[in-house]
Amino acid sequence: MSAEACPVKGDKGMSLFERYLTVWVALCIVGGIVLGKVAPELAQTLDGMAIYVNEATVVSIPIALCLFCMMYPIMVKIDFGEVLKAGKAFKPVGLTLFINWAIKPFTMYAIASVFLGTLFLGFIGPDEVDHVKLPLGAELNVGDTYGAGTVVLVDSVKMLEVPLWRSYLAGCILLGIAPCTAMVLVWGFLAKGNDGHTLVMVAINSLTMLVLYGVLGGFLLGVGKLPVPWQALLLSIGVYVALPLVAGYFSRKWLIASKGETWFRERFLHVLTPITIAALLATLVLLFSFKGETILQNPLTILWIAIPLFIQTVVIFILGYVASKVLGLTYENAAPTAMVGASNHFEVAIATATMLYGLSSGAALATVVGVLIEVPLMLGLVKFCLRTQNWFTHEPAAVTSDASDNVERTQ
C-alpha cells in the first residue's frame, strides 16, 4: 500500500489516535456531558450559527467547518487512478459493490428496525420523542404532520417531533449506506490483504456515494417514516462528499506536481492528521453536550444502539467472507472485501445526520455510537481473518513472502 493511503506508524500500522479511538470517543462523551451541564449555552450558541431557509436550519457553520476538516484529509489520500485497475479484478470488486449497495443498506434497516422498534422499544421508551430539524424546503406549520413527526415549537423555533427510536433508526440507516473509505485502509493493511484491491474499492466507493448515497438514503429514510426531501440529500452530499472530494482531488494533483510525491506523503499528510483529530473530537464533544441529559437519564441508550450496529457489522463481514470463499477468491482479496463491507464511513454519516436532523438529534447520536464500536470490533475481525487465512488459497507473492518470513524466524 502506498504511504499516503495508509500511513504506517509503529509496528501495527495504526497511529496512536486510531488505535485508541474508542477511548477518545468515551472521553468526548464525558467531556460533552460535563460541558452540557456547566455551559449549556455554548454548544447552543455554536449550533445557532447557521444558514437558514424558511426558518429551517440548513447548515450549521461551525459543524460544517469541523466536518470538512474531517472529510478533506480522507479524500486527498485517494488516488482515483486506481479505479482504472478495477477491470483487472472483476470478482472481488463486483462482490464488494454488491454487498455495499445491494445488501448492506437493507440489512441495516431490517436489523435496526427489529431491535430499536420492537425488542428494545420498552427500554428506549415508546412515548419518548426527539426534536429534529424541519426538512429543508418543506413549508410546514405548527401542528402539521410529516412522516412519523409533528411540527411543534421548541424555544420559539419550529421543530419536528418524532419518536425517539425512529431518530436512532435514521442514524443507523445513514451508517448503513456509507461504506468506509478511510479506516478500511488500516484494516486491510493489518489483515495482510491486497492493498491494491482496497485502494480500488476506496476510490470506487467514494465515486459511487455521489449517486447511491442519496438514492438509498432517501428511500430507506422514507420507509422509516423520517422522509428527507431530495434537495436536503443533494445538499448534504454536495457539502460533505462532493466538495471535499473535488478539493482533495485537485489539491492532491497540484501538490504532487509542485512538491513531489515524497513531500506529499511524508510531510503534507502528517500535517493534516492533528487537524482531522481536533475536528472529529470537537464535533463529538458538541454533540454529547446536547445529548448529555438523555444519556444520564437512560445510561443504557448507547448499548441499545450499539447492539444492532454490532450485529450488522458481523453479519455483513460473514457474508462477504463466505461469499469470497464460494467465489474462489484468494485470502488477499477476501479479507479486504469483507472489511470494506463491514466497516462504515462514520464521518459522512455524522455529517449527514447533523445536517438533516441537527446536532442534538438522536440520529446524530446513533452515528457516533458507530464510531464508538468501530475500532475494537474491526480489530477483532482483523484477528479472525489472520487466524483463518488458511481457509483460502494465497496469491503466489504472498506465499513466497510468508515462506521467507518463516525461514527468517527459524534462523
Overall pTM surpassing 0.75 (yes/no): yes
* CA atoms in the 13 A half-sphere facing the CB of 213: 29
**Which residues make Cβ contacts (< 8 Å) with residue 378, sequence separation at least 6?**
183, 187, 313, 339, 342, 343
**Would you say residue 25 lies in a domain?**
yes
**Would you say residue 41 lies in a domain?**
yes
- Radius of gyration of the chain from its Cα atoms, rounded to whole angstroms: 21
Residue type, position 62, single letter: P
Give the pLDDT band of residue 58 (cuts 50, 70, 90). Answer: low
C-alpha separations of 71 from 5, 13, 122, 349 in Å: 14, 21, 37, 11
Sheet-wide strand order for 129-132: 129-132, 157-163, 149-154, 145-146
Weakest mean pLDDT among 125-139, 262-276, 394-408: 394-408
Strand ranges (E), 40-173: 50-53, 56-60, 129-132, 145-146, 149-154, 157-163
Count of structural domains, the chain: 1
**Would you say residue 375 lies in a domain?**
yes
pLDDT of residue 260 exceeding 50, the answer is: yes
**Would you say residue 385 lies in a domain?**
yes
Quote the Cα angle for 379-380-386, to 5°: 90
How many Cβ atoms from other residues are within 10 Å of residue 314's Cβ?
A: 15
Given phi > 0 = left and psi -120 to 50 = alpha, else beta, which region is 194?
beta
According to the model, what pLDDT value does residue 105 have? 94
**Would you say residue 1 lies in a domain?**
no
Q: What's the domain range around 170?
A: 16-400
The Cα 332–Cα 402 span in angstroms is 12
Q: Which CATH number belongs to the domain containing residue 196 in this structure?
A: 1.20.1530.20
According to the model, what pLDDT value does residue 110 have? 96
Tens-digit pLDDT profile for residues 294-332:
677 777 888 999 999 999 999 999 999 999 999 999 998
Q: Which of 113, 141, 328 is nearest to 223 (CA)?
A: 113
**Would you say residue 197 lies in a domain?**
yes
**Would you say residue 167 lies in a domain?**
yes
C-alpha separations of 200 from 92, 165, 185, 288 in Å: 10, 36, 11, 35
**Would you say residue 184 lies in a domain?**
yes
According to the model, what pLDDT value does residue 57 have? 60
CB–CB of 348/240 below 8 Å?
A: yes
